């Protein structure tokens, strides 16, 4: 019994989209502990803005990334529903690095990282992994490693 080629293997096309939604939902979970209070990313961003902890450019980058994540997840789900597997995977792909960057920013802060941050980072990276695998399998199905189709 030999190893199956990528053409013979399947990855569920909805898997990256579901992982993307799960990782984005982690943004609403507790990411840091501040004193006795657990804070989600919404509370964390609003607290940082209220305390003037960042410059205008940093604030724009953080808020843009925060708003882009749910949009990417939603578009990935819609594309998966329309069986646009490659487009769904490409939309889900940046979620992993963005969630990992958010986790790193929190981990390097003086706050204690809570379960929402860990879950968001892990699920985000799994989203990118699933999206990468789906793109590889789809490319192999279309005619091989070096196909332009």
- Find out whether 75 and 84 touch, Cβ atoms under 8 Å: no
Q: Which of 62, 121, 79, 117 is nearest to 96 (CA)?
A: 121
Residues (pLDDT < 50) of the chain are 1, 7, 146-149
Whether residue 136 contacts residue 6, with contact meaning beta carbons closer than 8 Å, is answered with yes
CATH of domain 15-140: 1.20.120
**Structural domain boundaries of the chain?**
15-140
**Token representation of residue 45:** 């961003």
Query: For 94-130, how does the pLDDT look when each residue is reduced to its tens digit (9 = 90+)?
Result: 999 999 999 998 899 888 899 999 999 999 999 999 9
């Amino acid at each position: 019994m030999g190893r199956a080629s990528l053409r013979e293997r399947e990855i569920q096309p909805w898997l990256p989209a579901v992982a993307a939604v799960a990782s984005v939902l982690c943004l609403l979970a507790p990411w840091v502990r501040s004193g006795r209070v657990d804070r989600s990313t919404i509370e964390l961003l609003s607290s940082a803005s209220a305390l003037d902890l960042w410059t205008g450019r940093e604030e724009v980058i953080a808020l843009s990334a925060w708003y882009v994540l749910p949009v990417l997840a939603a578009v990935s789900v819609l594309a998966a529903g329309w069986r646009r597997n490659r487009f769904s995977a490409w939309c889900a792909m940046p979620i992993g690095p963005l969630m990992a960057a958010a986790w790193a920013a929190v981990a390097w802060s003086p706050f204690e990282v809570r379960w929402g941050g860990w879950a968001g980072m892990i699920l985000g990276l799994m989203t990118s992994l699933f999206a990468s695998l789906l793109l590889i399998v789809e490319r192999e199905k279309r005619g091989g490693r070096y196909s332009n189709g």
